[in-house]
A = this chain, B = another copy of it.
Amino acid sequence: MHRHHRPSPRHSLAILVANLEARAPLDEGDRAALLSLPHSRRTMSPSAYIVRDGEVPGPCAVLLSGFAYRQKVTSDGARQIVSIHLPGEMLDLQHLHLDCADHSVQALTEVEIAYVPRQTLREVMAERPGIGRAVGVASAVEASIAREWMLNIGRRDARTRLAHLLCEFAMRLERLDLSGDYGYELPVTQEWLGDALGLTPVHVNRMIRALAEEGLIARHHRAIRFPDWPAMRDVAGFSEQYLHFGAQVAV
């Protein structure tokens, strides 16, 4: 039922290689180096901390299955979700080079994590340009998504903002074959959505039903479908360019 819990078939880190390789070329040596990275595997429950704000970053976490998210909190206790992560993504790129975590990373669903020693990872990146490049691409894409979120939160009204986020999830999940027919399971509460969008849960609820009444989304519990995807895209003003799908050719 939860396809995002599917473990990677042959090797733990195969999903990382696949994720990196989707955008940047890796040679045989790069692949072998990545797959032979020392790591320990661990399963964690929803809302468990993977990285904790203010602490010294530990080993680098790679998400093997399940979803994770990043969040920050104001001095008043208000929370902002700043990103969501899908299987194959590295959760510590942001802290790999920093000596103090500036935000928290938590499990959204039950997750499997591979922990790779920071130093080893840095060495491999330094020794193999292909890997350094691939990690650079992954990092740049993450930054691009962050910028789009800023635009979303700062400059779109609530309904459009929600629609845009739902479109992004749809595209990203579909790319990993974690959804079918533009429909997917969204394992979050409306409060979580509000914290990702800079809205209150009450208003998120109203916008969800507004979209539903317009026939732009169809829900069943927390599963969501898009009966009219073109219309949905249009309402959201969505363009996937910022996701940089596809190989990034060297120029």
Contact = CB atoms under 8 A, between A and B. Distances in A.
Interface residues of A, number: 61
Nearest to A57: B251
B241 A54 contact: yes
Contact of A122 (B76, B133, B241): B133
Listed residue (A74, A95, A241, A244) with the most chain B CB atoms within 10 angstroms of its CB: A74
Given A82-B150, A142-B143, A132 B137 contact: no
A110 B11 CA distance: 53
Interface in A122-164: 122, 125-126, 129, 132-133, 136-137, 139-144, 146-151, 153-156
Stoichiometry (number of copies): 2
Interface in A196-224: 197-198
B241 A147 contact: no
A143 B57 CA distance: 16
A154 B161 CA distance: 12
Given A137-B97, A139-B139, A151 B24 contact: no
23 contacts: A54-B241, A56-B251, A72-B148, A74-B155, A75-B237, A80-B150, A82-B151, A94-B140, A94-B144, A98-B141, A98-B144, A98-B244, A102-B144, A102-B241, A103-B147, A119-B250, A126-B133, A139-B139, A139-B143, A142-B143, A149-B150, A153-B154, A155-B198
